[in-house]
Structure 1
């Protein structure tokens, strides 16, 4: 049994405090989710923090799940009163719709300011979400240049930063936020598989074995057979990576674990969701 996955480094604790303070100054919230695990990447306290502020819910990495799921997830969230936007921030797909939606907020914000005898100002937005879900990549696409650091790993953004998108919109880039305690360890393992949590919090072999078990339990188990030449059907995930390590890499199980995780994370295995909308 692997130790529980927990990760709450000091920079996240500090950023969360600063984020709560800055939310008072913000007009609209962009909450960014990972399309592979939209439910596991919804922070349970966001609604409490933002109260009645408008929120745009963004499913990023739409390119990493089958296109057939795009409409399914959109409908699922709509049935729960949420308007969902789908983006591939890396390629810029769907980003214009986010900019237009945020810009519409500007009219309402400044009408209220004029009604109170105040001068117009740009609408203030904040991008929040778990680490490595693509917030910074989304901001860079909205700005049209590399305004903030972006990389495929958790913990790159470490402090809050305001960015001017246009004359009408200012956006606050916040470090990834994560609950101080991850009580749902199934979700925590999904975060680790998708690299949406710091690598210091988990063991690669345990997480890779969980990935194999999840693929076996879904419609994607055959991906393992076709890619690695080893059928997972009659093996646990742990047995699978140990045998693959023995067959290919002289018993180097850690190397196999990293290979499997990287192949999934980079999309080399294909478009594979780890969560489906539940009824």
Structure 2
């Protein structure tokens, strides 16, 4: 699913001070971490992969978590599972808000600790809980995942990026300790197509982008998906939701037409409504990325 060239001209950048500080602190904490839980957004698994992840993980065990599985279709999940396995990775799909898939993530993290404690035992040392860190872009569901792993709400969670500001350890069980880290994001978003997808999914701060540009891009992505990958989207999501067919229109033209049709010509309100409806799943389970054809 590619986005038209027009939108790449709009530069999206977001790197608030608390994220820069968090990244510096994270590097210090990583020295004592055994396992990295990398959380990505299942709608955009590539755009929510941090380019520094391999550097941070090093030789540690990494558990790949694709959250928000509830807002993609089963065939999209299957396609990503196959693609990641072809890359030598096993993805764990979760809906952290509801708890789906979380037990498997916990088991994967604890399994990594077995080897660590075997080594400690061989040196005459007592076993200790596995130390895991949860890393990912803002608003991908890290805090919700930790709360589910713990079984009670200890970490503030909200549907906006940048809520978690401090690094803190949370004891999950006798076997597992988790470090909840604030969302991390590249200092510079070199890939503007990925930046657009982050904005559509509300995974970067709202101040960094123009709602109308991003909403128009969303329409174009949905149209592109309907044309090229119809099996991975619900049927006619925009027409079903707004009773206005986007087929003959560009994303920008559809935004203006929808504003006239339903929102008294208020294009900004229309853009915000479109984005909110997508983010809440009101348009149906729509992925913005599918596995690359290799």
Q: Determine whether 1:129 maps to 2:136.
A: yes
Partner of 1:218, secondary structure, is helix
**1:139: which partner in 2?**
146
Unaligned ranges ≥5, structure 1: none
Deviations 1:193-251 (A, max 9, x none): 00000111011111000000111111257211221121111211111111111222221
**2:189: which partner in 1?**
182
TM-score by length of 2: 0.92
Q: How far apart, in 2, do the equivalents of 1:138 and 1:188 lie?
A: 24
**2:230: which partner in 1?**
none
**What pairs up with 1:27-106 in 2 under 5 angstroms?**
27-106=34-113
Partner of 1:30, secondary structure, is strand
2:269 to 255, 258, 268: 255
Farther off after superposition, 92-101 or 227-236: 227-236
**1:268: which partner in 2?**
282
Superposition CA RMSD, Å: 1.2
Structure 1 residue 48 displacement after superposition: 1.1
Q: How far apart, in 2, do the equivalents of 1:100 and 1:131 lie?
A: 24
Q: How far apart, in 2, do the equivalents of 1:257 and 1:84 lie?
A: 33
**What pairs up with 1:153-164 in 2 under 5 angstroms?**
153-164=160-171
Structure 1 residue 118 displacement after superposition: 2.4
Hey, which bits of structure 1, 4+ residues long, moved more than 6 A? none
Q: How far apart, in 1, do the equivalents of 2:48 and 2:165 lie?
A: 19
**2:254: which partner in 1?**
240
1:216 to 223, 229, 241: 223
**What pairs up with 1:170-209 in 2 under 5 angstroms?**
170-209=177-216
TM-score by length of 1: 0.97
Count of aligned pairs:
279
